Structure 1
């Protein structure tokens, strides 16, 4: 999800900076506004996955005990961004009337935070994930189980 958002962001930035579509057609101010609205809407929809899953993963991250203790500040910013996004989702779910401009204005800071600090999160989440025990190698063919003899019972 972060990769998709980053790719769309890079495309949008290049288009905004050049004033042209990807095929070099000039971009009008109105078209740029529409492209910006579409760009902001897509990452918001994709970030809902982060809102659902990131809190649990962030709780597992322990930057202080990792090789990158300085990541704690980034993880804190990410946690705050999730809290802000959760509040916005809660407002939308419970019938709050939020215009697309307000939605974009409130969602964008969280998305920006994830774009800036997402790699830190991924690094910390990977190192904090529970490690599975490796499967034992099969070195000998399995032998069939033999029926056990009944134990001798005394007289």
Structure 2
């Protein structure tokens, strides 16, 4: 269920559910072109530009003078940098477990279908809520989940 819709667009970020977003984002990246290079940039940092010596001075190579592989790696690094910036922005905004649990129970209590929404869209929203609950190890009996799903529909 967590992969549903991951091929179409990156998952939306909900500040209260950063860990869930992060895992969905990694799944999304694994389905994209250059996935391995982007993930390596996130984990190991960006390409260190090679240095060249000109007129007795040593400096970094300019982008235009990089070979195709280095340019490709630099482009992947830029994408990874955007994800790292989100990670930095999210530091300190993580809710405590109890706050997240309360928010999710509240979301579940208020969950209902939206006028004009297809059954598939309704199911995806509900599945995302249940996945978020599982992510922080909240447990509910399956009969409760099924009953809520049907009653809210």
Q: Which has the higher helix share?
A: 1
Q: TM-score range by the shorter chain?
A: under 0.3
Bigger radius of gyration:
1
TM-score, normalisation: structure 1: 0.26
More strand by share: 2
Superposition TM-score, scaled by structure 2 size: 0.26
